[in-house]
Structure 1
Amino acid sequence: MAFKVLLIDDEPWALEGMQIWIDWEELGFEVCGISGNGMDGLRLMEELGPDLVMVDIHMPIMDGLEMIKEWRQRGNLSTKFIILTGHSDFDYARKALKYKVARYLLKPLDEEQTELEIRAIQRELLAERERHYISQIARREEVLQMIKEVLLGQSMSAEGIDFLESLSRSAESWNVCLVQVHREQSARLGKFALEFLDGLETAYLLHLSMEHFVIVFGDSAYQGGGVSAGKTIEALARRLAGFRVFMAVGASAGSITGIRAAYKTAAKALLHAFYELEENCIIRYDMIEGSVFQHCHNQVELLERILEAFEIIDYAGYQSIVDSMEQLFRETRVYPDEVRKFVVFLLHEIRAYMSVHIASERGPSGYLFDIPNMDEALLTFDDMIGMLRSCGQVCFELLLRQSMIEPQGIVQDINDYIRSHFREGLTIKQLAERFFLHPAYLGQLLIRKNGIGFNVLLHDLRIEEASRLLRMNQYKNSELSEMVGYTSYNHFLKQFEKRLGMSPNEYKKIKAFHGKSFNSNIVSNQI
């Protein structure tokens, strides 16, 4: 950045000459203004803040030395001056030394000598700028360290507290924006945020860990022409679109010394990003104040239901369980860390189940789905539920594909067994135990292969046998009911009428009237 130079001389030709034949840009300067007398020169110095002033001694209204004296008395000690003087005024110009003016040029100006003096001034200004910059960095590091001590609740000296209190007066209120990022992007995004906040005197960025940094910022109710730190942080959030970043702002404090409370409330607000987060949205403590997290007390039941859905290959049931989990956890606000641990546990259990039951697939446990690490704190509730849904879709596709291949032979064995034992008190639970299958899965398997369920098949076989025995006309109806497997005659009667549309007695009369057998043909040819 070029330094600013102000030219002051009562001779217009001299001013024009200095502007034209001195290559200010090459020397690292830009002419910010010109003036024809010392009084106007003072006004321009106040207005423009030049780094260098080239001024003639003899001028109307106020000469050069009087102007320099007045400027120094106002406390402006850093401004550089080059005095322009004639040979006769040399002794007079030396008086300027007490005003810390060591450089002068004799009129008419020598181009080479003028360039040498200006370059010397530029080197001094560069050195001073470097020292000032280093001093600013050192001072800011001291301030950052003191602010960090406040955030962490560490004890401070009375001098440090007094200093922060004085610093606090630059804003009416102070707050903390806590930012959580992925550790691999922490340095990059922290640098970006620091550059974005550059120029805000009431904003300080500190790294607290590999995944967190905080922005301590101060704002005033009336900013005037200044830039609002709060609005700048909102703009920063928008600029971070495309990155997974959580940001939360706490409850404001009156001074920097009170920002530990703001930091704590920001940390509480940040937890709610697990449920509330929208793309690059800042969670504010006043948005969630009063919201509390709960514990989940039915994790064992949920696990059992999910594994049962896998055992019976009930994808719809699995989806329903995940839906109910989503609603329950969201409504009761289960602790984020508890949700993450539970979902990761479920994924491990599902993977273990699949590793055992899909042995025919090539390496299922290695490619079915990825299980996140528990330290991935940037995973949201929607992420966790999404993992369960995608995991279920992949796993049930494999289970269903295998279920269409393996049971071809076993179904026929099950049907044969039912045909041989339907007269007994046969239940689907007994049947499942005999064939080492889950009762619900067995029931679904029979429906897929036979087109009818176990109970329908059982009653069809019993009523078909009952109609055969009725045509023989050798047994009472109650005896016949027990012979085909019913312990309740009313149950037998209900099932008989449901299938044949008539009572057993009506059936016998029709058989006797026609004098021939009545073919019931009840049971599906599918079995």
Structure 2
Amino acid sequence: MFKVILVDDEMFTRKGLIKLIDWEACGFEVVGEADNGEDALELIGSIQPDLVITDIRMPVLDGLELIRRVTEEGDADPVFIILSGYDDFNYAQKAVRYGVHDFILKPIDEIEFTETLQALTIKLARDQEDRSIKDNLLTGAMIETLILDHPDDAFLAEWEDRLMLKEVNGLYYMFAELNDIHLSTEDGMSPSLSGFREILQRTLQRITGGGQPFYLHEHRNRVGFIIPDSMLQPFQGKIRPFAEVLLQQLRNECGFRIFLYAGCKVGCLTDIRDSYRSAKEALQYKYVHDDTGIVIHDEGSMQALQYMSLDDKLYSQLVEQIEEMASENLDKTIDEIFDNFRDKCYAPEAVKTNIHQCVTMIVRIIHEMDGDEQEITTLEMLLDWHDLNLSLSELRRIFMTFAEESGRYMAKLRKRQQSGDIPKIRSYIEANYQENISLKSIAAAFYINPVYLGQVFKKTYGMYFNDFLQQLRVNEAKRLLRQTDLRIYEVAERVGFGNSDYFVTRFEKIEGVTPSEYRNSLIKGGSPKGRLNET
């Protein structure tokens, strides 16, 4: 909501205007009133409103003089709308000269005034967005110059002044990182990086009382900012208590896991790049501090990072438990893997490599079982997780879900193998029915007991193997009788019947007519007599 102040020496006019307009629907909130220009000037300076609606004729300081003073002398930059009971062109001319947004005559028309406010809301929102973009670009250039370049004394002096850092004795560079946002619902509840930046800005201002300017910079998928030690006085002058309060308030507002990484303390803005670099080093210890979400470089917890592979025994144990669907033991093994990542200080890159190794082994087994790894719904996220900001606990949850889903899929593949892969067998029959095939020969080709195959085939398709095969052959024979002039014995040979008499017998039993009768009826232009015409 944009803030608005009403200035008019008539109280009833102010109160009437408050009741007349649906300010909230127009995007505004009335935050103050004044009955003369002098009080209004003080109010504008303290509240910094977005809009001032003022009368022209007022005691002490009239409306135009108020606008002139604010425009030429004040730090505030509100938009002005003038109200007047006088249709005076001179006033309008002067108002335009001071950049007044609109000049509205009393008595006020509710519809006209509402439309003016709604249009102004759109303009203010656009101006606010433009300023935000400009500030972000300016801040980004400043931060990058400080941390990547060697700025000159004039540049440093300017930004020490802007950031109010001339009197400080120490500075820290800190990263704030939003994690696990993929857990948000599909209705867009998770904040974007720019949205998180705005939340962080508000939280920093709230914690520090609003007296310290903070310039935030987006570093790829996290936000960086400078903390002067003067802001740490309410926290015993220490960075960790400050980080704990900041972290808790951010979590309360965002509802997601937040990680904070503080670089080393430096003496002045000139050396802030050293704090920035050490904050980047702190990022590598994220998984070691998954429980707290805070990594402080100066606390001396930067032990040597590990880049080694997990014990081969753990890999083998993991795969065996996935295949056996031993959930309780699998849970313990995955706990052991992730405990290793944390307790032995694995670098994020090493965690990535070991997770990839586990996934590769599981996918290879699925391939060996003639499965398709794309059936595993969690695979894509597990392959791309390093592009997200994930806490170690959330990565463990995703990996556990993947392992359990893989185990269920492998069981499904085993069941399909044990049933002889009936769909493949059917496809084989449909492709080779004209050959001298039998239940026994197919069972041998697929390494299945023929009796078991016959039972599973009947259960799956509702007919015995021989009936299915003969139906395929008769259907093809009918096509040949309709579309070719092959002799009956030639048709029998083409569809897999070695004996033409047996072919005729089976054809008649299935169709109710002999092959010759079927063809002759088609030649005469009639419908074949037999089962096709039975009701």
Q: TM-score under structure 1 normalisation?
A: 0.48
Q: Kindly name which structure, 1 or 2, has the bigger radius of gyration based on alpha carbons.
A: 1
Q: TM-score under structure 2 normalisation?
A: 0.48
